[in-house]
Amino acid sequence: MSSPVSYALHDTVGVITIDNPPVNALSQAVRAGIVDALEQAASDSSEAVVIACAGRTFIAGADITEFGRPPQEPFLPFLLDQLEQHPKLTVAAIHGTALGGGLETALACNYRMALSSAKVGLPEVKLGLLPGAGGTQRLPRVAGAQAAITMIGSGDPVSASKALAWSVIDRVVNDDLLTEAISWAKELVASGAPQRKACDETFTLSDDDRQLIETTRQALNKKTRGEFAPQRALDCIVAAAELDFKAGLKRERELFIECMSNPQAAAMQHMFFAEREAAKVDGLDRNTPKVTIQKVGIIGAGTMGGGIAMCFAQAGMHVTLLDRDEDAVAQGIARIEKNYAISVKRGRLTDDQVSAIMGNITPATDYQALADADLVIEAVFENLAIKQDVFRTLDGICKDGAILATNTSYQDVNAIAAVTQRPEWVLGMHFFSPANVMRLLEVVRGEKSNDTVIATAMAVAKTIGKTPVLAGVCYGFIGNRMLQPYFRETSLCLIEGATPAQIDGAMERWGMAMGPLAVGDLAGLDIGYKAREQLSDAEKGNPASYLVADRLVEAGRLGQKSGAGYYRYDPETRARLDDPDVMAIVEATSAELGITRRAISDEEIVDRLTLALANEGARILEEGIAQRASDIDVVYIYGYGFPRFKGGPMHNAEARGIAEVVARINEFAETLSAENWQPSQLLLDLAASGGKLRDVKAH
């Protein structure tokens, strides 16, 4: 097999070119190729060496697919030591993104040049790791404390101009990178420039720097709550100041291995690939034609319609926002303006940017305004008859080839499509609230939706910055369907003995962004109440799973919007406060239902809630509603505040062991409720065969 690394002399400069598509990751073959090329350059007539990459980017890091397998020599730290100690002057020529091991490679060169469009970063913390090939020791020595703390702590890449200002790189050029790098290498040699080595630089931390580390630690404790790697990454920067280079490298390696052995790393790497996989639709031809989306109609200027309009308008598309009358649409526009005023106040957007975005939104009350829309998204009240009326109207007005989408949370997309003469152009596009913020988009394929409709929806999701996941039609699709058993177990834990603070506290300490009862208060308890009003007693199920919520609503406690729900909310700070009145309602309801309250452990709460999700997720997979287990993980991480470092409910179950999960579910079936805790057939089959959720493909 030919090497992904080639070496050629360009006059007096040896050029090492890495060509390992798609992102020039440092696979074993690349590492070996670079070692060989460095050896060649050491003994030929070259006076300097340039490291450059073919294709769309400089090295984007270690090859993540190799993690978790036995490491193979040559190891990256060894290679970078060879590079740093190379007898010839070395220059990195960076285009695209130099990330992780890629930037570490550049930092081991004597000089760094980048295209102005390039970005550089050390994103390892996002994979549950820290830079493990000298990045935490070389970057502070090259660029100082602020750059190192910011880049290593956050993992966010920085632009070439920022990197230049911080001295991470030395020169920026606009084009002809390789030619420029070669001639610069010659110049450096000719001028007798020294072979600068990061390892020889000294690095100290001033009092201000130490203060910055402390404030960064606190900020990261909030932002990356529960994550193992970020604090260790900062420890390495402290080590860079306190230890010599060699000892610092040793410390970095120890902490890198600690991170790599922590289950969080596997979970976060799983999410890296899960996110990318989610965008792919099995069986869909890559060349499926897509509709070009320029004009978007949105029906319903309420909470969701307004947020959805913002997404498309921000992406530069023309949006017509329609509601029933002038008042309703004006209110919708005013709500959008209010949102943007906050963004301006926070410095996220300028007045000019907001004017440009608002210029993309045209209010309307007449459906005729949607006649030439390429895509129409309906976000009216959650009622099948109303939605069907809207689709009948759209069918009569919209041009051929327009895509008609519903943002329904629970209604049957097929029943909505069926009222039109073009059900193949109908699908669900289920956004999450607030729609302008939440990254998840469930793309719901109706039984007749055609391939163009699905391919276009997946593509346009990316254009507006969403992470799309394909779902089939069922009550609640993927995410909301799984919420049902999750909320059922929440309510049961409450009525059997736990308090709201205990349930939410247990889930939040475990890693959820917000506990389930606090989520209920945020969304509004009246929503579920109104939905239950439409159901028969049999459909509502066991009263223990909803009676407390009903009583809270009947007592005027609708959640945050009324100042009280499962908690009371401080009118000033909006902090949630325990409320004895709630416990009085809970205890009275337990007594009325003949339930003897008992102590429930945090572990039981977490197991009941997370396994309820995994069991329903397995059913969803079994039924082909989701394409793959990892898609379900993406839904929960981007739509429901599930912690990324646990990898989603399905990865979490897999990491725990499917046999153990089934055993715990069976235990709950015996001790709690056989009806609620039937293990899904898929979990039973996998437990018996030793198979993996990650290998299950929906048909």
Buried b (16+ CB within 10 A) or exposed e, 343-365: beeeeebeeeebeebeebbbbbe
123 touches, from ligand NAI, ligand 3HC, none (C-beta below 5 to 8 Å by class): ligand 3HC
Q: In the bound complex, what is the minimum distance in angstroms from residue 68's beta carbon to ligand 3HC?
A: 12
643 touches, from ligand 3HC, ligand NAI, none (C-beta below 5 to 8 Å by class): none
Contact 315, 463 (CB under 8 A): yes
Minimal CA–CA distance to 604: which of 657, 683, 664?
664
Residue 379, interface with ligand NAI (CB under 6 A)?
A: yes
Residue 297, interface with ligand NAI (CB under 6 A)?
A: no
Site string for ligand 3HC, 134-153 (x = CB under 6 A): -x------------------
Secondary structure E strands in 200-315: 295-299
- Quote the crossing angle between the two packed helices 602-622 and 479-496, to the nearest 10°: 150
Query: CA end-to-end span of the chain, whole Å?
Result: 36
Q: Is 89 helix (H, G, I), strand (E, B) or coil?
A: strand
Q: In the bound complex, what is the minimum distance in angstroms from residue 232's beta carbon to ligand 3HC?
A: 13
Residue 281, interface with ligand NAI (CB under 6 A)?
A: no
Q: In the bound complex, what is the minimum distance in angstroms from residue 158's beta carbon to ligand NAI?
A: 35
Q: Write the CB contacts of 89 (distance below 8 Å, at least 6 apart in sequence).
A: 47, 48, 49, 110, 111, 185, 188, 189, 193, 195
304 touches, from ligand 3HC, ligand NAI, none (C-beta below 5 to 8 Å by class): ligand NAI
For 154-203, give the secondary structure using H, E and C.
HCCCEEHHHHHHCCCCCEEECCCHHHHHHHHHHHHHHCCCCCCCHHHCCC
Window 105-124: residues binding ligand 3HC (CB under 6 A): 123-124
Q: In the bound complex, what is the minimum distance in angstroms from residue 160's beta carbon to ligand 3HC?
A: 15
Minimal CA–CA distance to 503: which of 478, 520, 527, 524?
520
CA angle at 297 for the pair 522 and 290, rounded to the nearest 5°: 105
Rounded to whole angstroms, the Cα distance separating 569 from 586 reads 18
* Residue of 14, 101, 128, 300 interacting with ligand NAI (CB under 6 A): 300
Q: Is the peptide bond before 22 cis (omega within 30 degrees of 0)?
A: yes
Closest to ligand 3HC by CB, 253 vs 551, is: 253
As given in the structure block, the two tokens for residue 342 are: 């906050």
Binding part of the chain for ligand NAI, among 37-45, 172-180, 320-328, 649-657 by CB under 6 A, reads 320-328
Binding part of the chain for ligand 3HC, among 54-62, 354-362, 612-620, 625-633 by CB under 6 A, reads 54-62
Residue 115, interface with ligand NAI (CB under 6 A)?
A: no
CA angle at 623 for the pair 530 and 520, rounded to the nearest 5°: 30
Rounded to whole angstroms, the Cα distance separating 554 from 577 reads 20
Q: In the bound complex, what is the minimum distance in angstroms from residue 374's beta carbon to ligand NAI?
A: 19
Binding part of the chain for ligand 3HC, among 53-61, 366-374, 501-509, 557-565 by CB under 6 A, reads 53-61
Closest to ligand 3HC by CB, 42 vs 284, is: 284
Strands 171-173 and 111-115: what pairing? Answer: parallel
Q: In the bound complex, what is the minimum distance in angstroms from residue 32's beta carbon to ligand 3HC?
A: 16
Residue 380, interface with ligand NAI (CB under 6 A)?
A: yes
Q: In the bound complex, what is the minimum distance in angstroms from residue 575's beta carbon to ligand NAI?
A: 23
Closest to ligand NAI by CB, 245 vs 432, is: 432
Site string for ligand NAI, 197-226 (x = CB under 6 A): ------------------------------
Residue 420, interface with ligand 3HC (CB under 6 A)?
A: no
As given in the structure block, the two tokens for residue 131 are: 């830079």
Strands 440-445 and 426-431: what pairing? Answer: antiparallel
Q: Transcribe 513-560 into DSSP letters.
A: SS-HHHHHHHH-HHHHHHHHHTS-HHHH--GGGTHHHHHHHHTT--BG
Rounded to whole angstroms, the Cα distance separating 141 from 240 reads 8
> Which residue is at the shortest CB distance from ligand NAI?
302
Site string for ligand 3HC, 14-43 (x = CB under 6 A): --------xx-x------------------
Rounded to whole angstroms, the Cα distance separating 437 from 431 reads 10
Q: Write the CB contacts of 138 (distance below 8 Å, at least 6 apart in sequence).
A: 104, 107, 108, 198, 199
131 touches, from ligand NAI, ligand 3HC, none (C-beta below 5 to 8 Å by class): ligand 3HC
Q: In the bound complex, what is the minimum distance in angstroms from residue 172's beta carbon to ligand 3HC?
A: 19
Residue 436, interface with ligand NAI (CB under 6 A)?
A: no
Binding part of the chain for ligand NAI, among 52-60, 96-104, 251-259, 322-330 by CB under 6 A, reads 322-330
Residues that bind ligand 3HC (CB under 6 A): 22-23, 25, 57, 60-65, 76, 97, 99-101, 104, 123-124, 127, 129, 131-133, 135, 273, 276
Residues that bind ligand NAI (CB under 6 A): 299-305, 322-324, 328, 332, 379-382, 386, 390, 407-409, 431-433
